[in-house]
């Protein structure tokens, strides 16, 4: 299925259908040259990202960048999973001297290519890059101290399953940090969400309350969950 094609709405309740259409979009070279490249260009430039995020989602994107401050304060040797890493947004929290075992994962070959270029520009050699889907992660349970899921949960075919998979990869006591566009924050935002879902860019998503339930069902203790416009940011910890 190519970018822009939409299956019947009835099919969208099926996770397998959702997965196929979303993977087709995010692995599409045409979408990568247009939509994904544009997103990456904007999100890397706060002077562009702030007004656009405010206009589209009514959110203050500085909340996203505040999450990244926690990465730079991790103890030496910490194991970090960044999924979906995109073009390397979270790399701004890293430095060549920061001693982390950092794994960056994305389904999109184009995004991984840009992320590798970003790492090279910043002189970051502590990053391992993996192309994989959140539904099929090649990591054992309890591998990571921290999992980052930035601007990605709304792009997954089944966010409840995705959070369960990410929670399993955390060690007991490990933390999940992330944010996601949510439904139910206002008719204008829902209309934009629906448009991006129809374009096979966004997955089914959920409301703020559903996000809370998904985190709890994944065996995670929610330490912070708050919304700014149609974007929710969250911090959770895997239970012992």
Instruction: Give residue 15's pLDDT band: very low, low, confident or very high (50, 70, 90).
Output: confident
Say whether pLDDT at 66 is over 90: no
Say whether pLDDT at 13 is over 80: no
**Range in 38-47, 99-108, 143-152, 192-201 with the lowest mean pLDDT:** 38-47
Pairwise CA distance, residues 85 & 152, whole Å: 9
pLDDT at site 10: 37
Pairwise CA distance, residues 105 & 116, whole Å: 11
pLDDT at site 12: 52
DSSP 8-state assignment for residue 227: E
Looking at residues 22-51, what average pLDDT do you find?
86
- Spatial contact of 42 and 48, defined as CB atoms under 8 Å apart: yes
User: Which one is predicted more confidently, 148 or 42?
Assistant: 148
The pair of three-digit structure tokens given for residue 175, joined into one six-digit string:
């933390």
Supply the mean pLDDT for the chain: 91
Looking at residues 34-38, what average pLDDT do you find?
84
Contacts (Cβ under 8 Å, ≥6 apart) of 210? none
Entry field: residues in the chain: 240
Say whether pLDDT at 195 is over 60: yes
Say whether pLDDT at 4 is over 90: no
Instruction: Give residue 6's pLDDT band: very low, low, confident or very high (50, 70, 90).
Output: very low
Say whether pLDDT at 51 is over 60: yes
Instruction: Give residue 7's pLDDT band: very low, low, confident or very high (50, 70, 90).
Output: very low
Q: How far is CA 214 from CA 103, 113, 129, in A?
A: 24, 31, 27
pLDDT at site 23: 87
Q: How far is CA 8 from the centre of its chain?
A: 26
Domains belonging to the chain, first-starting first, are 11-238 (3.40.50.150)
Count CA atoms within 13 Å of residue 95 on its CB side. Answer: 7
**Cβ burial 167-186 (10 Å sphere, 16+ → b, else e):** bbbbeeebbbbbbbbbbbbe
Instruction: Give residue 11's pLDDT band: very low, low, confident or very high (50, 70, 90).
Output: low
Pairwise CA distance, residues 226 & 232, whole Å: 6
68 closest CA partner among 32, 105, 102, 39: 102
- Spatial contact of 175 and 121, defined as CB atoms under 8 Å apart: no
Helix, strand, coil proportions of the chain in percent (round to 5)? Answer: 45, 20, 30
The pair of three-digit structure tokens given for residue 49, joined into one six-digit string:
């990202």
pLDDT at site 30: 83
Looking at residues 170-177, what average pLDDT do you find?
98
pLDDT at site 37: 85
């Amino acid at each position: 299925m190519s970018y822009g094609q939409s299956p019947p709405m009835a099919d969208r309740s099926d996770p397998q259908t959702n997965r196929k259409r979303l993977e087709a979009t995010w692995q599409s070279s045409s979408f990568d040259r247009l939509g994904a490249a544009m997103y990456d260009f904007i999100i890397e430039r706060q002077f562009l990202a702030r007004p656009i995020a405010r206009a589209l989602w009514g959110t203050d994107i500085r909340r996203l960048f505040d999450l990244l401050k926690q990465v730079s304060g991790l103890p030496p040797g910490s194991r970090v999973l960044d999924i979906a890493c995109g073009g390397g947004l979270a790399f701004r929290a890293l430095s060549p001297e920061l001693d982390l075992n950092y794994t960056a994962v994305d389904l999109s070959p184009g995004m991984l290519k840009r992320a590798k270029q970003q790492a090279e520009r910043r002189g970051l050699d502590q990053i391992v890059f993996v192309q994989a889907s959140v539904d099929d992660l090649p990591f054992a349970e309890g591998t990571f101290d921290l999992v980052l899921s930035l601007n990605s949960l709304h792009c997954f075919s089944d966010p409840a399953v995705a959070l369960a998979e990410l929670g399993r990869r955390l060690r007991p006591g490990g933390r999940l940090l992330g944010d996601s566009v949510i439904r139910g924050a206002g008719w204008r935002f829902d209309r934009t969400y629906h448009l991006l879902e129809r374009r096979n860019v966004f997955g089914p998503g959920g409301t703020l309350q559903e996000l809370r339930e998904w985190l709890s069902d994944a065996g995670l203790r929610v330490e912070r969950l708050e919304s700014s416009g149609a974007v929710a940011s969250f911090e959770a910890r895997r239970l012992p």
